[in-house]
Amino acid sequence: MSGVLYIVTTPIGNLGDFSPRGQQTLSSVDLIVAEDTRHSRNLLNYFGIDKPLFSLHEHNEVNRIDSLIQRLLQGDSVAQISDAGTPLINDPGYLLARRAREEGIEITAIPGPSAPVVALSLSGLPVNRFSFEGFIPSRAVAREQFLQQLAAETRTLIFFESPRRVVESLQAMRSCFGPERRVSVARELTKIHESVHTAPLCELIEWMESDSNNRRGEFVLVVEGAQEEDKDDSEAYRIVEIIARELAPRKAAAVAAEITGVRKNKLYRSLVE
């Protein structure tokens, strides 16, 4: 009989969120696979769990999977955890879970918090359809292209972003999605300084810049989807920005309005804001 692979979610900040079933599972398995063993050892010590830890991260994942699968096939039970939240969600574990399925090994989850879902539930933005987009590219050109491709997406969008680039990313969103698009900045979720602020991009950037505390910690950005009637506006915002390199804002807005059919005032506001 092969063992079981458990995908165990750990807290994203507040240790009170670690489920009794998660703790009990980690106490009972033969081996725990972790992203950063030193980080996870602290968590296990806090909960009085003493089990062998095996490291699995993006740089060694491919090489280590065979030995983990062998142990599972020999009957050992294995728990996969990551530094925080749900493993596999922008964290290691996918390749192991896929191989376990292929080998017919039983795999089950001990669920718990995941930052994108927590941020979505607090955002006040539509939750009926959403798309999780992971980390925003860090380089300006790649970021612009990435956001531009999503400008007409009508589902709510969820992104991870680092505190170092969060303002730059909001500025890039303003130029790709327009200043009126509502965005929720979820910071330090479940921790002492948790804050969630939802506003149109034109106001949100000012708010972020007004206090350095607003730019500290871990972030999830939740972005309202494009409205059906706004679907073509992102292209218009791009066009008006190009024309404004040569013409004054009012003139540029008038020319872009004629080309795109989007209201002149809307384009003018996108330029000046």
Structural tokens at position 203: 């106001």
Least distance between ligand SAM and beta carbon 174 (Å): 20
Contact indicator for 16, 97 with CB cutoff of 8 Å: no
Helices and strands in the chain, H and E counts: 11, 10
Site for ligand SAM in 109-148 (CB under 6 A): 114-115
List own/partner pairs for 18-24 with CB under 8 A and 24 or more apart.
18/43, 18/47, 18/112, 19/110, 19/111, 19/112, 21/110, 22/110, 22/112, 23/47, 23/49
Q: Which of 146, 177, 219, 237 binds ligand SAM (CB under 6 A)?
A: 219
Q: Is 160 in the site for ligand SAM (CB under 6 A)?
A: yes
**In terms of CB distance, is 59 or 245 closer to ligand SAM?**
59
**In terms of CB distance, is 105 or 118 closer to ligand SAM?**
118
How far is residue 273 CA from its own chain's centroid?
27
If you ran DSSP here, which 8-state letter would residue 137 be given? P
Q: Which of 31, 53, 65, 89 binds ligand SAM (CB under 6 A)?
A: 89
Q: Is 179 in the site for ligand SAM (CB under 6 A)?
A: no
Least distance between ligand SAM and beta carbon 131 (Å): 16
The tally of CA atoms less than 13 A away on the side-chain side of residue 81 is: 32
- Between CA 81 and CA 33 the distance in angstroms is 6
Q: Which of 29, 105, 158, 220 binds ligand SAM (CB under 6 A)?
A: 220
Of 62, 66, 91, 96, nearest to 79 by C-alpha is: 96
Q: Is 218 in the site for ligand SAM (CB under 6 A)?
A: yes
Least distance between ligand SAM and beta carbon 71 (Å): 24
With contacts defined by CB under 6 A, name the span among 83-91, 174-182, 208-216, 236-244 that binds ligand SAM: 83-91
How far is residue 106 CA from its own chain's centroid?
28
Q: Is 85 in the site for ligand SAM (CB under 6 A)?
A: yes
Q: Which of 79, 186, 223, 255 binds ligand SAM (CB under 6 A)?
A: 186
Q: Which helix (H) or strand (E) holds 187?
A: strand 182-187
**In terms of CB distance, is 47 or 135 closer to ligand SAM?**
135
Contact indicator for 158, 116 with CB cutoff of 8 Å: yes
**In terms of CB distance, is 114 or 175 closer to ligand SAM?**
114
Using CB under 6 A, list all residues that contact ligand SAM: 12-13, 82, 84-86, 89-91, 114-115, 160, 186, 188-191, 218-220
